[in-house]
Structure 1
Amino acid sequence: MITVTRPCMQPSLEGSAANFTGSVRIDGQFQAPAPASVGGATVTFAPGARTAWHSHPLGQTLLVVAGVGFVQQWGQLVRTIRPGDLVWIPPNTKHWHGATTASIMAHIAIAEALEGKAVKWMEQVCPEEYGKAVVQIP
């Protein structure tokens, strides 16, 4: 049977301080029923907000829908992302994403779970690391 979930059926969630820095709102969280393993949500970052470093066992897709943000793979340069950008993060790639200091950023995040786990959270992105991203805005 097809399921339709309306926005009013789920309250917004606040991003956990253990996994995010700054104000982050999570809306429309979904997890497909087994045997499917895909899940996701719309995530909105206030200016300066960001995820902690993390990875996904089967990768992650981000569809940027509003604002301007950053994404960075461990050891690589920061990339600026904007509405309409589609970002593919390969499996087990340590990375973070979030908003610039001057704009919100919202994306739809989609990932598949492997053995029931879709994300491995790591340490916070320190202010110095984030500061390097801010000066790189193209």
Structure 2
Amino acid sequence: MQKLSKPATTKNPPEQFTGDVWLDPIAVPQGWDQRMVVARVRFAPGARTAWHSHARGQTLHVTSGVALVQSRGGDIVEVHPGETVYCPPGEEHWHGATPDDFMEHLAMLENADDPSTTTTWLDHVTDDEYRRR
């Protein structure tokens, strides 16, 4: 067993996010055969990810606020505290906060064999796409 040090909170980059988003890593690979990545992610009102996909999928568990989640071509879904949503491998999607409230979720995924291919970042979600509910 090894007690891990707490990584610092980071603000996510504007190339991948719209608005203010903060990430607190909970579990990250430590150099041994580990793939699990878990982070607490906090979104300011109106903040959201860009469109993206994950090589091995992603699970989101909302802990506070209301999340908006959409798969490319699908409807925007509201996800409430205590609810969980799964985005399958390769599915293009985005997630974020409602326009009026902060939102926090746990993001859980597995790294790909080549960690640089774990997440594929795409175009930003437009304001029109975000408001389409």
TM-score by length of 2: 0.92
Query: What is the CA RMSD across the aligned residues, in angstroms?
Result: 1.3
Quick one: which of 32, 42, 46 aligns to 2:44? Answer: 46
Deviation at 1:29, TM superposition (A): 4.6
Partner of 1:17: 14
Deviation at 1:4, TM superposition (A): 4.2
- Number of equivalenced pairs: 130
Partner of 1:78: 76
Partner of 1:122: 122
Given that residues 24 and 45 in structure 1 are in contact (C-alpha distance below 8 angstroms), is that contact kept between their aligned partners in structure 2? yes
Q: Deviations over 1:5-54 (max 9, x none)?
A: 4xxx3321101000000010111353133312111210000000000000
Counterparts of 2:122 and 2:38 in 1: how far apart (Å)? 19
Deviation at 1:78, TM superposition (A): 0.5
Deviation at 1:96, TM superposition (A): 0.1
Q: Deviations over 1:109-130 (max 9, x none)?
A: 0111112232111000011101
Q: Deviations over 1:77-108 (max 9, x none)?
A: 00001110111110000000000001111001
TM-score by length of 1: 0.88
Structure 2 residue ranges without an equivalent (≥5): none
Structure 1 residue ranges without an equivalent (≥5): none
In percent, how many aligned pairs have the same letter? 38
